[in-house]
Every structure is written in C-alpha cells, then in structure tokens.
A and B are shown apart, each in its own frame.
Chain A
Amino acid sequence: MKNEYIPQLSEIKEVIKHTDLEYTFRMAFDGEVKPGQFFEISIPKYGEAPISVSGIGDGLVDFTIRRVGKVTDEVFENYVGDKLFIRGPYGNGFDINNYKGKEIVIIGGGTGVSPMRGVIQYFAKNPTDAVSTTVIAGFKSPDDVLFKKDFEEWSKTINVIKTVDNAPEEYDGPTGMVTKYIPDLKFQDIKNAVFICVGPPIMIKFTIMEIQKLGVADEQIWTSYERKMCCGLGKCGHCKMDDKYVCLDGPVFNYTEAKELFD
C-alpha cells in the first residue's frame, strides 16, 4: 500500500525572481499534473505547506511561492541544485475542456494568478481553441507584478489587462482594482462566456458580484479556494467547508457549488 505522506526529494532546476517576496521554483517532477492542482512542499524541521502548481513542463513543475510563513521563509534559502521534499499532485485542478470554444475571462489577484497560469498558457498557445481569451490580473503595485515576461508573451495572442492598485504618477499602465475592468468587457454571446476567478477571498467576492451584473449564470463561473490543506488527503479536516474537502473536491469549484460553501 502506498504511503501518501512520504514526500519525494525534488531538485530545484531554476529560480525565477518576480519580487523580493515571490519566486517561482522550477522543480523536477515526473507524472501527470493539471493546472490548479497543488503539492505539499516541505523541508524537514520546518514543515509542509500546500503550494499550487503555477506551471507544468516536461519533467518539471513550477511553484510560485510567496514568502509569508515558516516553511516558505526556509524555501527561499534554497537555490538551483538544492532539493526540496514534495508530494502530490492533489486536488481536482482546472479542466481545460470546460473552457474550449468559449469566450474566456480569467481574473486573478496577486499570487491568485499562479494556479491559473497553466490555463492562460494553454489558451495563449492555442488561441483558436477559444472564441476569445481575456486575462485581467491585478497586483498591488508595479513592484508586485508576477510573471512579467509571461504577460508580454501572452499579450501577443490573447487580451491582457494587467492592472495595479497603486502606482506612481509616471506609471502608464492600467490602474485600479480588477473589478473596474469587468463592466467594459465585450462579448459576442454572453451565454457562451466563462469566467475563472482566483485571488484573496475579498477579491473573489467583489469580482463575482461584478461578473453577475453582466447577467452571467452561476454555471459559467469557476473559482479556486485557498485553505489550510494540511494533509492534502481528505484526512486532517482543516480545509473542510460544509460537506466538501477543498483538497479532494476542490480547490477548483464551479460557482454553483462554491456559492453554497462557507467557512
């Protein structure tokens, strides 16, 4: 019987620094992974932390990590060639098929962009698989922007609105909250639109309120929840919401389900 709690050692292949607090660790991993799934990353003595997959490559998996706690602080002490313990992938992840042939709007706040990055990458590479793809990504300030190179790349094939909440006067890009850009979205057929929205709880709440004003049905909205997934295996209980375990049934939920869930 497989002991799911035992992590495997994985080598750090590349470290991409986005901001002082947020790095992407490109790690060795062989196996099937879907965007939106997560791994438990650990360093013995410091513990485990659930981190979502921010990119998938051949024998590689990316984790964009924000340095905010005991485990992540220690992860930042490691660089290329070092090894971290990982186990996963866990959770359902995003199913690309739900979005093919649709008018896709992907809305992310801060590190909330990470779990959706795989979805964005897919449609940026295969733009004709969707009627249209629009990404609205919000960051606190120009210094907090993640995936800068990606945004440049993506904007060649899909619509990208990268906005910052606060900017110095000379900043010439979009500013304000992501919600500001939702009312102006244009659709050929709003019934064929799909929305994916991931970010801090408060951002998800207001973004969905704004999306609903467009006359969108709940089935057309997806979100992903960040909770304390201690085990990732449906055992430890910390991520339970109502009758759902975020680690098993989520973290990606269609809004028909998500709207029933509360903490």
Chain B
Amino acid sequence: MSAILKICDLRVAVDGKPILKGVNLEIRQGEIHALMGPNGCGKSTLAYVVAGHPKYEITGGSIELDGINVLELDPCQRARLGIFLAFQYPVTIPGVKVSDFLRHAVSNVRNPDRKEGEGLIPMKDFRKELKDRMSEIDIDSEFARRYLNDGFSGGEKKRMEILQLSLLRPRFAILDETDSGLDSDAVRAVSEGINKLHGPHMGVLIITHHERLLEFNKPSFTHVMLAGKIVETGDASLAHDLHANGYAAVRERHPTEAAEQEAVTVKA
C-alpha cells in the first residue's frame, strides 16, 4: 500500500502573523502535485513547514506521514522518515566537500537509526553510486570535490538539489521553485532528472510560478494557493490555464482571499 502525506487544516504563523490559514493537502506516493500561486501566498512556507524549519510557529492542524505525527519530529528525523525538500535557495557550506556531505546524508537517511560517529556507508560503493548519479543528471564528477554550493551558479545549485534527491530517494519530495532562475536548457535537465526519479515510490509536490517544469513532469493535481489557503484544485489543465491567463480568474472566484492576498503583497 502506498504511503500518504496528509496535511490537515494546517495553520502557521511567523512572529505572530498568520501565514498559512488552514491548508489541506493529501499526496500519495507515485503522484505528482503542482502548487501554484502568486508571490507571498504561502507556498514556500508550506514547503519549509513540512521539512521542519524551526522559525515557523504551528498554530493549528496536523501533518502526518502514514499516521506518524510529522510535526513532533525535528528536520533530521523527517528526512530519515522520507521527506525531502529541494531548496529554492540552497545555502553554501564553506569547507564541506560535496562528497562528504552526501555520504553523511545518504548514510543517515538509509540507516535512520544511525547515531553520530557511527559508520558511514562504504566509501567504494558510495563513490560508484555518486559517480553514476552525477553522470545521469549531467554534473561533472569534479563537483564531488568542491565545497557545498560554494561558488556554484544558480543552475549548478539546483542540479545539486536534484542529485541529492536522486541519492536520498525520499518517499515525498517537495521541489520549491526548482525551475526559477534557470534557462530553458537547465530546466530541461532538471525536469529530466525528476522524470527519471519519479516513480510509484515517490510522491512529488512541485511548487512553481511557471509552467515549464510541469510540461515535462505532468501533474495529476494542480492546487492554487491564495492568502495561505488552497482555494482551488484541478488537473494539469488548471496549471496550463493559470500559465496562459494568470490569476485574474482565480481572484475573481475567490474575492475574500484575493483581497487578503493583495494586502500582503502591497505590504511586502
């Protein structure tokens, strides 16, 4: 039976200010969902909250993975449970080699009970696997020796996120604007990477402004977010429609949320 990531009436605030105001979303392993919406509507917040960023205050609702209360877990435990976030802005960790970082990450996620200082996966096997995955998504093997995201271009950082996705093989992956800031070749490379990885064992939530990524990775469901709520859910054609015609129609259908959203956007 496939696992379900279930988000129920999720309410989240930052510095006392509500950002998510009752989000409901269910993703099954094997499904691709698209999450769209104007800037500041809460898409990235949702991604961060699922991954467990400490700065968000959960004021209500729940997140469960196969009945396990995800909100009680720290980010490390969530990763080991099979949740993955591809960051919109991956941070730089100077002095930490990509290969060392990935070997630790893979060792922890594949052996969720691993304690600090315990053995890592064998170097030989890991090297081979890393080399294979890197060539699949067209990353020069030289990157394994570079410092994590240090001096990487935008596209290189995004590919590095996809590389991590391919090594960690999560049950649920959230891609937070993985296509933003990339030229069309890079989007294609990233999309192909996701396509190869996607399968019956991975549920994917693609957060995007654009349609490009969705052309390659066709969603079964498209959700539209406004002012911290999912206001509409449709199929791939909704994404296409939003891309072609913008959010005006959605705003018209949901005037209250549209007004709230407007207030947030103007303030920002």
Same assembly: no
